[in-house]
Amino acid sequence: MPWIWADSPSPPTDVLEAVREEAAKLDRERKRRGRAKKAKQDATEAQAEAQATATEAEVAAGAVRADQRAASEAEEQAAAPAAAAGDQESASTGAACAPGAEGTSAQGADGALDGDDSGSDSDSDFGPMPLRGDDGELMVQPSRGGFGGAMRPGEGQKIAAFVQAGKRVPRRGEVAWSGEEITKFEASGYVMSGSRNVRMNEVRLRKENQVFNAEEKRAMAMLNWEQEQQRQEQSLAALARIVEEQAARPLPVSVQEAARARAAAVAAEATKQTEE
């Protein structure tokens, strides 16, 4: 209900008190936010100074280590000529004592040179190479793991590669037959006979189950991570929408009046100071 002022040119006292209280409350809130912001800035500056100090300490330690290495290298270089002179002396003495030493040393030098040449021509791709699929990608990823125990190194990765490619996992004793042909035979009812094959099949099934479980856990973890990312994006979008709505909404009348009263008080105080 609006106030009706008949003869008095000034607003009622309770309205002025409410405006003053609101203005004081806004002022306290502004000061509190300013103190919090300053404390946060001080903490950030202190952390930056600590990091800079740690970096300077690391640089100084690196310089000390470099000086130590340079000093040790200088000592080694200074001691190298004396050692070389001693080796030459001993070599000349041995050559004088043994007439056939010159030929032997020459043959040894030739052999060393030949060995160096043969080593320099060695192929960089020497040795077994990783197994690759039809698309040229590695079938075994070294970084993958966590398939359980009782497996040889790399066995879980190999089984996982076949599982991911949708192919049948091979086993021991399957020679001269492809995986598709053996799958057809097994579907027709043929099985490998013998107690040894039964045991190998049990071990194969256990290892495959371990790999299946590990792959399922990894897929579930990835799915949970993706769902968590989607939930976070939805929450951020909802929060941004709420902030935009609150920013577009006009301020209450009491806040506007408090702001006007505060502005008038500031202007009056400035006028008073100017007159004085």
Q: What confidence tens digit (pLDDT) does each residue in 76-98 have?
A: 776 666 555 555 555 555 444 44
CB 200 within 8 A of CB 171: yes
Q: Which amino acid is at 120?
A: S
User: Is the pLDDT assigned to residue 115 strictly greater than 70?
Assistant: no
Higher local confidence (pLDDT), 262 or 57: 262
pLDDT digits (tens, 9 = 90+) for 145-187: 677 777 777 788 888 888 778 777 777 666 677 777 888 888 8
Q: Is 18 exposed, middle or buried (0-12, 13-18, 19+ CB in 10 A)?
A: middle
The dihedral through the CA atoms of 79, 81, 83, 85 has a sign that is negative
pLDDT of residue 65: 76
Q: What are the tokens at 84?
A: 């070389």
Question: In this prediction, what percent of the chain has a pLDDT beyond 90?
Answer: 7
C-alpha distances (whole Å) from 93 to each of 54, 87, 97 are 58, 10, 6
This model's pTM is above 0.85: no
**Mean of the per-residue pLDDT values of the chain:** 73
- Is the confidence at residue 250, as pLDDT, over 90? no
Distances (CA, A) of 56 to 50, 52, 59, 65: 10, 6, 5, 14
In terms of pLDDT, which residue wins out, 10 or 6?
Answer: 10
Does residue 99 register a pLDDT over 60?
no
3-state secondary structure 2-33: CCCCCCCCCCCHHHHHHHHHHHHHHHHHHHHH
- What does the alpha-carbon distance between residue 157 and residue 148 come to, in Å, rounded to a whole number? 11
Q: What is the mean pLDDT of residues 54-63?
A: 73
Q: Mean pLDDT throughout 131-157?
A: 69
* Residue among 226, 203, 215 at smallest CA distance from 144: 215
